[in-house]
């Protein structure tokens, strides 16, 4: 498998996780031909965008009501 541009790979990871309801980092690394560190960076970005939820060992689908609520840190006013 040839390497995908990062943005396209993240889009495909988000779609895959939504369709499967969850995926492990190992599964994503093998499927997209990238290292586990790359998967973790992608999952961090996707979680910040509200597209997946990171869980121990991988990622899970974001339910509608989860994505509608901003993260606590982004709501907090200092």
Q: Can you give the pLDDT at residue 16?
A: 97
pLDDT tens digits, 14-71: 999 999 999 999 999 999 999 999 999 999 999 999 999 999 999 999 987 655 455 5
**Alpha carbon separation from 50 to 33, 71, 72 (Å, rounded):** 24, 9, 13
**CA distance linking residue 53 with residue 15, whole number of Å:** 13
pTM, to two decimals: 0.77
Residues near 60 by Cβ (< 8 Å), separated by ≥ 6?
17, 21, 22, 52, 53, 54
Q: Can you give the pLDDT at residue 2?
A: 64
Q: Can you give the pLDDT at residue 68?
A: 47
**What domains sit in the chain, N to C, each tagged with a CATH number?**
6-71 (1.10.10.10)
């Amino acid at each position: 498998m040839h390497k995908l541009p990062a943005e396209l790979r993240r889009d495909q990871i988000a779609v895959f996780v939504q369709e499967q309801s969850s995926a492990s980092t190992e599964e994503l690394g093998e499927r997209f031909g990238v290292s586990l560190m790359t998967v973790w960076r992608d999952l961090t970005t996707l979680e910040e965008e509200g597209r997946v939820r990171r869980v121990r060992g991988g990622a899970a689908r974001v339910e509608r009501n989860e994505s509608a609520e901003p993260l606590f840190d982004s709501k907090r006013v200092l």
